[in-house]
Structure 1
Amino acid sequence: MAPRAKPKPAQSRNDAVQASKSVPPNWPPLSPVVPAEHLLVETVLAGQILVVRNLFTSSLCRNYTSFLSSLPLTTTPGKPKRGEATRVNDRFQVDDPVFSRRLWGQSGLQSLVNSFEDQTVFGGKLLGLNPNIRVYRYRPGQFFDKHYDESVRLQFGQDKVHAKTTWTLLIYLTTCDGGETAFYPEPSKKGETPPEPIVVSLEAGMGLLHKHGDDCLLHEGKEVRSGEKWVLRSDLVVQR
């Protein structure tokens, strides 16, 4: 279980306010995509880190990167609030349940995640993706310091089902020099040397899923040295 004394994620009420005020954009079509039956959920660390390569095709990544660059991105402050990790990037955030349903169904994620052999790792009955959609751009010198991602409670769908988020979803749209996501597992026993970090390199089109909430691993988005790192972010939602 992640120790609560470590830096918290930059998740705050201000994020929710920003999302509620943003108008959903006219997202490009999610096409072309690789059929779900040709994709695979790969386990990087059991119960914690999963990846899906080629979730977005190269042409879809290019289309989305071009489109997202037209959105009104806001640069996060370099000085974090007390108890939050330092994050320096450009971001856009919006509540868009229509797009979250499209992303869940049309990308192949729904089929892939629902057919994963161990459903218990997701923490409950899967409902879909968090309608709170975030876009991140990291330019050279930008990064997200070590932090944890919190679980969020919400009322999901038209029926307002009581739900919560359990896994972070990051879809990488570009590659760059630097910008890797590094995870820091804890030692199995107090006093032991911590395991080596698990570093997930950027692959354009790859989806990264990692568990968050109380069992979240400490992790960071390393500094981008050159190029740009574009990420589409949501979360897996389960019934509570």
Structure 2
Amino acid sequence: MAPRGKQPQKTAKPTGQSDSITKPKPQAPNWPPLTPLIPAEHLSLETRWPSLVLLVRNLFTSSLCKNYVSFLSSLPLTTTPGKPKRGQAARVNDRFQVEDPVFSKMLWEHSGLQYLVDSFEDPATFGGKVLGLNPNIRVYRYRPGQFFDLHYDESNKLEFGEVKVPAKTTWTLLIYLTACEGGETVFYPEPRRKGDKTPDPIVVEPETGMALLHKHGDDCLLHEGREVKSGEKWVLRSDLVVQR
């Protein structure tokens, strides 16, 4: 794996660590209601990098974020091992993971995400017919000194919904529940053609209630979660799921 702050060779593609948590599997928590929310028609998808990085400002209101951080603080978070497996990026944070199709459906239908994705000007951007959100829900907390090193997010295959539709994930969804000093999500685009100047990094600062969508799999941009300097970065994570 390449040193932090330097882009690895094309042959080395460090991936995010597996989010599997076993023995025992946690039960789906009693999530707080998704209220108050801004009406979906008042939200918009902001393009930070065409077809690869999108933002939704104020997907969650500040009061909703506060309620969720208070609730998530009560969950049994697990600290990520400091030494990654071979081929995985170094990551130090606290996390919780659960399979919860009921919550993922509620988040998809009521937050405004479904409205924004279905009405997006170029539906092909999302890699197929979007079915909803990955029921694999993850919670991340980054405290001062914690970070997620340079890596790529992989696409995963799954059987989606009660009828088990063959599906796959295509875009990562991160919902920032807090702001903090540091903790930026930074993407490193490559030149479009050989000899072109390397584009400037795309820096996304944590913003309370903001959602970040970025494409993963073969088209994923190299990216990192920079070290948190002060405060805490709380993130709710899922993925867009499309039919395959």
TM over 0.5: yes
Secondary structure, counterpart of 1:21 in structure 2: coil
- 1:184-227 Cα offsets, whole Å, 9 max, x none, are 00112335442111101111000100000000000000000000
Mapped to 2, the partners of 1:122 and 1:4 lie a distance apart of 26
Mapped to 2, the partners of 1:68 and 1:192 lie a distance apart of 45
Unaligned runs of at least 5 residues, structure 1 = none
1:66 aligned to 2:56? no
One-letter code of the match for 2:57?
Answer: R
Alignment of 1:84-233 (within 5 A): 84-233=88-237
Secondary structure, counterpart of 2:103 in structure 1: helix
| TM-score for both structures, normalised by structure 1 | 0.95
Contact 1:154 1:164 in 2 (8 A): yes
One-letter code of the match for 1:48?
Answer: L
Residue 37 of structure 2: aligned partner: 33
- 1:71-117 Cα offsets, whole Å, 9 max, x none, are 00000011100010000000000000000000001101101111000
Residue 5 of structure 1: aligned partner: 12
One-letter code of the match for 2:156?
Answer: V
Mapped to 1, the partners of 2:112 and 2:55 lie a distance apart of 13
Secondary structure, counterpart of 1:67 in structure 2: helix
Structure 1 residues 29, 214: closer, same or farther in 2, change over 3 A? same
Secondary structure, counterpart of 1:27 in structure 2: coil
Tell me by how many angstroms 1:22 deviates. 1.4
Question: For the aligned residues, what is the CA RMSD?
Answer: 1.4
Contact 1:18 1:93 in 2 (8 A): no
Contact 1:100 1:130 in 2 (8 A): yes
Structure 1 residues 82, 70: closer, same or farther in 2, change over 3 A? same
Structure 1 residues 108, 19: closer, same or farther in 2, change over 3 A? farther
Secondary structure, counterpart of 1:16 in structure 2: coil
One-letter code of the match for 2:230?
Answer: S
Mapped to 1, the partners of 2:202 and 2:195 lie a distance apart of 20
Unaligned runs of at least 5 residues, structure 2 = 1-8
Secondary structure, counterpart of 1:37 in structure 2: helix
One-letter code of the match for 2:185?
Answer: T
Contact 1:80 1:86 in 2 (8 A): yes
Mapped to 2, the partners of 1:35 and 1:20 lie a distance apart of 38
Match of 1:44 among 48, 51, 54: 48
How much identity, in percent, do the aligned residues show?
73
Contact 2:21 2:97 in 1 (8 A): no
Residues matched between the structures, number: 236
Tell me by how many angstroms 1:10 deviates. 1.0
Structure 1 residues 73, 26: closer, same or farther in 2, change over 3 A? same
- 1:122-179 Cα offsets, whole Å, 9 max, x none, are 0000100000000000000000000000000000000000000000000000000000
